[in-house]
């Protein structure tokens, strides 16, 4: 095993150990981390409010105290009302036990039918045999009063005390974060900046503003969702509307599954307690219509540019945080994942978080195109190219996707990662997909007559260059250019013979990187020596780094009349030569009655 393999193995092992330790720490010390996460969440939400109060003339301390006081008063009021409704619900549900049983039995009979009812009765009989209601007498153990009190403390009081302690810790930490926000930001910049203070400061400020705005707007939208649900249920006569609205607003923090989960309690309650199905249908319709409006109208308007979380990442994150921290982790999964995504976008060492959690494509279009061709999935490769063509045009898709993908195949073949058979299959796939993309070019209707100029489009080396030459030839206007594309892998002497037989006005040498500069330079020198009157254009297509940017570049090709790195640039070089050729043709037609480099006139 080489030294680089050992290094990769050590890095992988270290990353695995660190990840396991972090996850275990989050799980074991969740009593500490949950208040910290909640405090960060609240600090991001309340930060814009504190900033606005400061702009009104209040100092930082008074702004924080006023903001926290308003939030705590509102939360306490809502909490008291919700607690009262929970208590009343717990008292009234037993009184409605008979009505609920009747409704459940009615629903069961409606769903199952007669045959299924027989099967259900059979199951009930078997259950009664296995677990009889009146079994043998069992000894009754009388526990001491102290033991009963201790068990009640463990069941009820201990979780309550723990919850209150975490809430108090989160409250104090939130106040501290709001008061010392700049100090904490500077410490994070020092830890993550890596010496780039200015860049890290800009990134931290922008990330803080984006997260604060996103979470604040999310709070407003979810709170408004809960308020509208409360008012709507109250108008429909559903009891405990405030409780169901509170649950709906809280559960909406859970992506995708939160709203359906918050819908279940009021629908079941309405079904069990209402006289008919009208109220239940109204509750269901209220939730569905409001969720559709929020998703398609209010969220794009309030959130602006999305934080860019992928759908799969949100669901996986919800499951992960729920496993670690229970219901609170489920509620905080969205904000926590958003913070991790922004960290990955602005901190280079955590870039993997942006790749894992973001909704942007993991591969660039030309890489994805080549990857699908390498996997022998030409249909998906065509979808990638056609999508870019639909957005940016066929020529842009050929330049940005198809030809760079072909260059990547040639590079892998040169490095030994691709055998000849696979390379041939990819080249044939590129030819077919490139033809599909080229067919999307609009047909331009021309009127009148135009003089066509002969142009020889020559692939410099192999079949890959031949594909690129065909694509370039297809991009030239047939009403202006009379194009011929000879076969690939020609010797220099054969190319000279082609020029002598066809007598073109322009020769375009098509060469795809990587490599090929020296061979293309050799062909230019041979043609320039034998046919100095012919214009020479070099098309180094594929947008690779070693393509020359001009005729006299450091690795350029001297003697060429133009160099193009894209199909558009190659067409531009030919268009620049067209007036010169047209003028020369006009002189020759007047003096000698025609030009061998011209085909004459063609009516479009």
- The number of beta carbons lying within 10 Å of the beta carbon of residue 556 is 18
Give tens-digit pLDDT for 157-195. 667 777 788 888 888 999 988 888 888 877 877 776 666
What's the pTM? 0.64
Give tens-digit pLDDT for 277-330. 788 899 999 999 999 998 888 877 776 555 667 778 888 888 888 888 888 888
Is the pLDDT score of 41 beyond 60? yes
Please state, in angstroms and rounded to a whole number, the distance separating the CA atoms of residues 37 and 338.
Answer: 12
Mean pLDDT of the chain: 79
Is the pLDDT score of 476 beyond 70? yes
- The number of beta carbons lying within 10 Å of the beta carbon of residue 416 is 7
Is the pLDDT score of 489 beyond 50? yes
> What local confidence, expressed as pLDDT, does residue 548 receive?
43
In percent, how much of the chain has pLDDT > 90?
13
- The number of beta carbons lying within 10 Å of the beta carbon of residue 458 is 26
Instruction: Look up residue 244 and give its two tokens.
Output: 């169901």
Give tens-digit pLDDT for 233-242. 999 988 889 9
Residue ranges of domains in the chain, CATH in brackets: 1-93 (no CATH), 365-437 (1.10.1240.10), 445-603 (3.40.50.280)
Confidence of residue 602 (pLDDT cuts 50, 70, 90): very low
> What local confidence, expressed as pLDDT, does residue 547 receive?
43
Give the mean pLDDT of 132-154. 54
Element (H, E) at 484: strand 481-484
Give tens-digit pLDDT for 233-277. 999 988 889 999 999 998 888 777 788 888 988 988 888 787 777
- β-pairing, 562-564 vs 449-459, is unpaired
Give the mean pLDDT of 109-129. 60
> What local confidence, expressed as pLDDT, does residue 588 receive?
59
Is the pLDDT score of 589 beyond 70? no
Instruction: Look up residue 443 and give its two tokens.
Output: 């047909």
> What local confidence, expressed as pLDDT, does residue 286 receive?
93
Instruction: Look up residue 72 and give its two tokens.
Output: 């705590």
- β-pairing, 481-484 vs 449-459, is parallel
Is the pLDDT score of 138 beyond 70? no
Instruction: Look up residue 176 and give its two tokens.
Output: 């501290």
Cα radius of gyration rounded to whole Å, the chain: 36
């Amino acid at each position: 095993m080489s030294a680089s393999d050992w290094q990769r193995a050590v890095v992988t092992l270290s990353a695995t150990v660190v990840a396991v330790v972090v996850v275990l720490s989050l799980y074991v010390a969740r009593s500490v981390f949950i208040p910290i996460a909640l405090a960060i969440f609240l600090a991001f939400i309340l930060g814009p409010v504190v900033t606005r109060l400061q702009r009104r003339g209040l100092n930082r301390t008074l702004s924080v105290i006023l903001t926290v006081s308003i939030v705590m008063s509102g939360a306490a009021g809502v909490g008291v009302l919700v607690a009262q409704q929970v208590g009343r619900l717990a008292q009234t549900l037993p009184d409605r036990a008979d009505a609920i049983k009747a409704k459940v039995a009615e629903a069961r009979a409606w769903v199952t039918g007669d045959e299924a009812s027989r099967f259900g009765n059979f199951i009930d009989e078997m259950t009664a045999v296995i677990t009889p209601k009146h079994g043998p007498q069992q000894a009754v153990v009388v526990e001491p009063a102290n033991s009963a009190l201790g068990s009640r403390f463990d069941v009820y009081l201990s979780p309550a005390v723990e919850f209150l302690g975490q809430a108090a810790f989160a409250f104090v930490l939130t106040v501290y974060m709001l008061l010392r926000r700049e100090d904490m930001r500077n410490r994070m910049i020092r830890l993550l900046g890596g010496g780039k203070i200015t860049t890290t400061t800009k990134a931290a400020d922008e990330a803080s503003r984006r997260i604060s705005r996103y979470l604040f707007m999310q709070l407003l939208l979810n709170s408004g969702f809960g308020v509208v649900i409360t008012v709507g249920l109250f108008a429909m006569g559903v009891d405990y509307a405030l409780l169901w609205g509170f649950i709906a607003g809280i559960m909406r923090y859970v992506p995708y599954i939160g709203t359906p989960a918050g819908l279940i309690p009021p629908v079941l309650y309405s079904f069990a307690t209402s006289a008919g199905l009208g109220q239940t249908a109204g509750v269901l319709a209220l939730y569905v219509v409001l969720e559709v409006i929020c998703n398609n109208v209010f969220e794009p308007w309030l959130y602006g540019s999305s934080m860019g979380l992928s759908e799969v990442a949100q669901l996986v994150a919800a499951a992960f945080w729920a496993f670690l921290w229970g219901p609170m982790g489920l509620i905080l999964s969205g904000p926590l994942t958003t913070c991790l995504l922004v960290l990955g976008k602005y901190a280079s060492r955590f870039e993997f978080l942006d790749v894992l959690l973001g909704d942007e494509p993991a591969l660039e279009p030309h890489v994805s195109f080549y990857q699908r061709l390498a996997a022998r999935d030409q249909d998906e490769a065509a979808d990638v190219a056609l999508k870019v063509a639909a957005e940016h045009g066929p020529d842009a898709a050929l330049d940005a996707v198809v030809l760079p993908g072909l260059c990547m195949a040639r590079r892998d073949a040169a490095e030994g990662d691709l055998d000849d058979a696979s390379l041939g299959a990819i080249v044939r796939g590129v030819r077919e997909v490139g033809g599909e993309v080229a067919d999307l070019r609009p047909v331009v209707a021309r009127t009148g007559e135009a003089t066509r100029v002969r142009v020889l489009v020559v692939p410099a080396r192999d079949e890959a260059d031949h594909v690129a030459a065909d694509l370039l030839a297809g991009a030239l206007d047939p009403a202006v250019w009379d194009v011929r594309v000879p076969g690939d892998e020609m010797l220099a002497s054969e190319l000279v013979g082609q020029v002598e037989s066809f007598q073109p006005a322009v020769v375009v040498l098509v060469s795809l990187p990587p490599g090929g500069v020296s061979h293309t330079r050799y062909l230019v020198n041979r043609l320039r020596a034998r046919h100095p009157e012919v214009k020479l254009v070099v098309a180094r297509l594929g947008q690779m780094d070693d393509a020359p940017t001009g005729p006299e570049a450091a690795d350029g090709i001297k003697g060429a009349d133009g160099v193009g790195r894209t199909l558009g640039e190659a067409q531009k070089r030919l268009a620049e030569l067209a007036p010169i050729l047209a003028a020369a043709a006009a002189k020759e037609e007047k003096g000698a009655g025609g030009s061998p480099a011209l085909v004459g006139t063609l009516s479009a």
